[in-house]
A and B are shown apart, each in its own frame.
Chain A
């Protein structure tokens, strides 16, 4: 086994090489199970003597919890366990630990999974029960008596920053700001990035545009609700089955919250019905484990859709201010932004990443972005594709479009004139490595879509988006079977087709047919640590791990062939799925195929396994440019997206269909974010649209076929040139659609969503000479 942070070179050389499997549209290994209903999701596991767990949730957006009386529920026949805050040890203040992608504040997490002193949002878990069936569990919840002292609440981030606003957490200190002792605040953090002097830059500008924007919280809207089955035994060992983006990370969180040794908890990820960042955290899982520990029986828990909306993290709503200056010939002289993001009831909005990405598609001498992380009485936000970036770049790309219009320049040529390239200083500091921003802009400009005429009344918009991408800890194993087929064991949850892409790289390296590689996701005891699936990391980092495992396997195969032939191993090469003797040994030595070596592996030394563990670094950033046409029903305000093209740099598309699917999925989610999706609260801070009938995500009839263009500027840190592709596609849609609406109507929208009532109101207002709608 190899264990190194050095990237294995493998057979890949980036682009321009003909591969047998990489770059093909191979049949997906999970396809049959998914279309026949065999695939097992979070709620599909059934164990003997399994109980049903349910959660009692706060009806109040903000309230002290004076007392919780569970005695009547515990006395109900069929109830096997009841838990409250008293069943979880508090975590020490400042107990911030690296776990998964980010550092985790477990004092916050233990309060988020089960309210302690206060209920901080409507839907906050107050207690949970496990009973022999769902009816009894629901009855038990109704018997729990909670004495609340209802407190004033705040949802809007700007209102939450004002003095006199209801304070969410009384002991919060603002990170990144001077704060007088004793002053209470909802501002969790202030961040600032940039370089140069924006005042100097604005003085050089011929045109300066300054705008304010708002966005609403939007949910990841994964179709499969959170679900799990937990089973703890009397000796303190446990098993957990769950729908998650990262079962190793979930294991760590649960072990910490329950005070278990990590290795005593064995966790298996189910198939996942969507996550998009929202399944990188735990909600039900610690509760199910605690209930199972108390009952000594397995417990299944599954959220309703309403619970998903009320109690799990959407991404932030925000208030945004952007100012950009440019010369009349299209050179940006300065860019400035202030971003205020809702964090929910605990710190941790993605405002820092939004601030870093806000102006990343531009090479700027004078730039500044300031961000605020603001507590409000809503569920704590969770990651959502390219966390933070879509919000910020909606505002910045809207202003860029407007300024291009004012100076009379084509919006793509304006972007090309200011685009970064390798060696450009990014707006957040470092110089860019090899990137494909210019290539995506040129491909969009030259695409038939951008060149085609619009019909009367239609509008066209463009926007560019950026996301960093990440690597991280990853392990993979290739186990050679006696017939020469190979089991590929992965520890990264397959959210977007990575069983296919990683198998293809394994087959390419080994020189064998793809159908000889069977990929599977192992449980947490099967492999070394694997960070979660997120940040568009798995085909990048997993690919490095798989290539390393294949090279490790090939090393052993060559060694066995050398022993078989009784020649030095240095005189054996591996090519096209077989060992070949070289350097004059070839005359009497026929090549040995993988099957032949596998058949005799017992006699040549025993089982043959290739493994590789890595903490992958050097993820290649990705840029994308979207082109969208819209039509508007002037009588209803309904916006129709009539044509949509995504152009994005993938580095190297291992499986182009999956890459295109990521592009299309991001665009469709962005269309929903732009046109319809929002949380609507009543005056008591209670969510009024906690279901898909009232929270409107796009359906097939709402969107055209999303066209895609895969640009391939190889990432030099990956054996095949891969860049992550899952995050960037959701960054440009909101601005692209807003820009298209501005082109169609002559009205610049500054508030999301651009829903029919808002668009209709703007059209009516425009008849009265208004040019900006809200």
Chain B
């Protein structure tokens, strides 16, 4: 199972949970499982986050693959100048 770490303000919507393990293969599956498990998450929360999978950062990529032993961090979305 992948290790999921919620950073920033997400844990305010996950009953204080900041780390968990989930059986997910893609970012889309991750988002769906999080939304199901924590209905308090804002409906558009996935638009506000970047996802780091083993150190590589993804934005707006539902089908990026998550391995069973991956470490996944949800971060605030990144924009530049």
Query: In B37-81, which residues have CB < 8 Å from any A CB?
Result: 44, 47-48, 52, 54-61, 63-64, 71, 73, 75-81
Residues of B within 8 A of A (CB): 5, 7-9, 12, 44, 47-48, 52, 54-61, 63-64, 71, 73, 75-81
Chain B residues whose CB sits within 8 angstroms of the CB of A5 once the complex forms: 61, 63-64
Are A356 and B76 touching (Cβ within 8 A)? Answer: yes
20 residue pairs from A and B, CB less than 8 Å apart? A101-B80, A102-B77, A191-B9, A193-B7, A277-B81, A352-B76, A353-B76, A356-B76, A383-B79, A385-B80, A429-B7, A430-B55, A432-B55, A433-B55, A470-B59, A472-B59, A535-B80, A615-B60, A615-B61, A717-B56
Give the residue of B5, B64, B81 whose beta carbon is less than 8 angstroms from that of A384. B81
Chain B residues whose CB sits within 8 angstroms of the CB of A176 once the complex forms: 8-9, 12
Give the residue of A385, A429, A618 whose beta carbon is less than 8 angstroms from that of B56. A618
Q: 5 shortest A-B CB distances, which residue pairs?
A: A535-B80, A277-B81, A101-B79, A430-B52, A383-B81
Measured CB to CB, the closest approach of chain A to B60, in angstroms, equals 6
Chain A residues whose CB sits within 8 angstroms of the CB of B54 once the complex forms: 431, 433
Query: In A179-193, which residues have CB < 8 Å from any B CB?
Result: 189-193
* A469, CB-defined interface residue at 8 Å: yes
Distance in angstroms between the alpha carbons of A192 and B56 in the assembled complex? 21
Query: In A484-539, which residues have CB < 8 Å from any B CB?
Result: 534-537
Chain B residues whose CB sits within 8 angstroms of the CB of A422 once the complex forms: 55
Distance in angstroms between the alpha carbons of A429 and B19 in the assembled complex? 12
Known contacts: A98-B47, A429-B75. The answer to whether A352 contacts B8 by CB under 8 A is yes
Would you give the 0/1 interface string for A28-44, flagging 1 where the beta carbon is closer than 8 Å to chain B? 00000000000000000
Measured CB to CB, the closest approach of chain B to A653, in angstroms, equals 19
Give the residue of A356, A431, A537 whose beta carbon is less than 8 angstroms from that of B80. A537
Residue with the highest number of chain B CB atoms closer than 10 Å, among A5, A97, A429, A615: A429
Measured CB to CB, the closest approach of chain A to B15, in angstroms, equals 14
Distance in angstroms between the alpha carbons of A535 and B79 in the assembled complex? 6
Are B63 and A96 touching (Cβ within 8 A)? Answer: no
Chain B residues whose CB sits within 8 angstroms of the CB of A190 once the complex forms: 9
Q: Number of residues in A with C-beta < 8 Å to the partner?
A: 55
- From A99, which residue of chain B is reached at the shortest CB distance? B47
Measured CB to CB, the closest approach of chain B to A281, in angstroms, equals 11
Chain B residues whose CB sits within 8 angstroms of the CB of A96 once the complex forms: 44, 47
Distance in angstroms between the alpha carbons of A527 and B8 in the assembled complex? 36
Measured CB to CB, the closest approach of chain B to A35, in angstroms, equals 26
Residue with the highest number of chain A CB atoms closer than 10 Å, among B5, B7, B77: B7
Distance in angstroms between the alpha carbons of A304 and B29 in the assembled complex? 50
Are B47 and A535 touching (Cβ within 8 A)? Answer: no
Give the residue of A103, A278, A615 whose beta carbon is less than 8 angstroms from that of B47. A103
Give the residue of B44, B58, B80 whose beta carbon is less than 8 angstroms from that of A534. B80
Known contacts: A352-B8, A430-B73. The answer to whether A470 contacts B79 by CB under 8 A is yes
Are B57 and A430 touching (Cβ within 8 A)? Answer: yes
Distance in angstroms between the alpha carbons of A726 and B80 in the assembled complex? 10
5 more A-B residue pairs beyond the given contacts A356-B76, A473-B60, with a C-beta to C-beta distance below 8 A: A387-B79, A422-B55, A472-B60, A534-B81, A726-B81
- From B81, which residue of chain A is reached at the shortest CB distance? A277
Are A469 and B80 touching (Cβ within 8 A)? Answer: yes
* A175, CB-defined interface residue at 8 Å: yes
Give the residue of A103, A385, A470 whose beta carbon is less than 8 angstroms from that of B78. A470
Are A383 and B71 touching (Cβ within 8 A)? Answer: no
Chain B residues whose CB sits within 8 angstroms of the CB of A469 once the complex forms: 80
Chain B residues whose CB sits within 8 angstroms of the CB of A466 once the complex forms: none
* A658, CB-defined interface residue at 8 Å: no
Residue with the highest number of chain A CB atoms closer than 10 Å, among B54, B71, B81: B81
* A362, CB-defined interface residue at 8 Å: no
* A327, CB-defined interface residue at 8 Å: no
Known contacts: A98-B47, A430-B73, A717-B56. The answer to whether A175 contacts B9 by CB under 8 A is yes
Chain A residues whose CB sits within 8 angstroms of the CB of B80 once the complex forms: 101, 277, 383, 385-387, 467-470, 534-537, 724, 727
Are B7 and A428 touching (Cβ within 8 A)? Answer: yes
Are A617 and B61 touching (Cβ within 8 A)? Answer: yes
Distance in angstroms between the alpha carbons of A451 and B81 in the assembled complex? 34
Distance in angstroms between the alpha carbons of A429 and B77 in the assembled complex? 14
Are B8 and A192 touching (Cβ within 8 A)? Answer: yes
Measured CB to CB, the closest approach of chain A to B42, in angstroms, equals 9
* A542, CB-defined interface residue at 8 Å: no
Are A535 and B81 touching (Cβ within 8 A)? Answer: yes
* A392, CB-defined interface residue at 8 Å: no
Chain B residues whose CB sits within 8 angstroms of the CB of A385 once the complex forms: 80-81
Distance in angstroms between the alpha carbons of A757 and B45 in the assembled complex? 47
- From A352, which residue of chain B is reached at the shortest CB distance? B76
Chain B residues whose CB sits within 8 angstroms of the CB of A403 once the complex forms: none
Are B76 and A103 touching (Cβ within 8 A)? Answer: no
Measured CB to CB, the closest approach of chain A to B47, in angstroms, equals 5
- From B58, which residue of chain A is reached at the shortest CB distance? A617
Give the residue of A97, A430, A433, A472 whose beta carbon is less than 8 angstroms from that of B75. A430
Chain A residues whose CB sits within 8 angstroms of the CB of B48 once the complex forms: 103
Are B77 and A356 touching (Cβ within 8 A)? Answer: no
Give the residue of B8, B12, B59 whose beta carbon is less than 8 angstroms from that of A193. B8
- From B9, which residue of chain A is reached at the shortest CB distance? A176
Query: In A403-447, which residues have CB < 8 Å from any B CB?
Result: 422-423, 428-433
Measured CB to CB, the closest approach of chain B to A331, in angstroms, equals 24
Measured CB to CB, the closest approach of chain B to A472, in angstroms, equals 7
Would you give the 0/1 interface string for A344-386, flagging 1 where the beta carbon is closer than 8 Å to chain B? 0000000011001000000000000000000000000001111
Known contacts: A193-B8, A428-B7. The answer to whether A617 contacts B81 by CB under 8 A is no
Distance in angstroms between the alpha carbons of A470 and B79 in the assembled complex? 7
Query: In A301-347, which residues have CB < 8 Å from any B CB?
Result: none
Known contacts: A429-B73, A471-B59. The answer to whether A535 contacts B78 by CB under 8 A is yes
Measured CB to CB, the closest approach of chain A to B79, in angstroms, equals 3
Distance in angstroms between the alpha carbons of A289 and B75 in the assembled complex? 37
Give the residue of B56, B61, B71, B75 whose beta carbon is less than 8 angstroms from that of A428. B75
Are B79 and A534 touching (Cβ within 8 A)? Answer: yes
Distance in angstroms between the alpha carbons of A535 and B8 in the assembled complex? 20
* A280, CB-defined interface residue at 8 Å: yes
Measured CB to CB, the closest approach of chain A to B44, in angstroms, equals 6
Distance in angstroms between the alpha carbons of A470 and B55 in the assembled complex? 13
Chain B residues whose CB sits within 8 angstroms of the CB of A695 once the complex forms: none
Distance in angstroms between the alpha carbons of A423 and B55 in the assembled complex? 8
Distance in angstroms between the alpha carbons of A175 and B80 in the assembled complex? 22
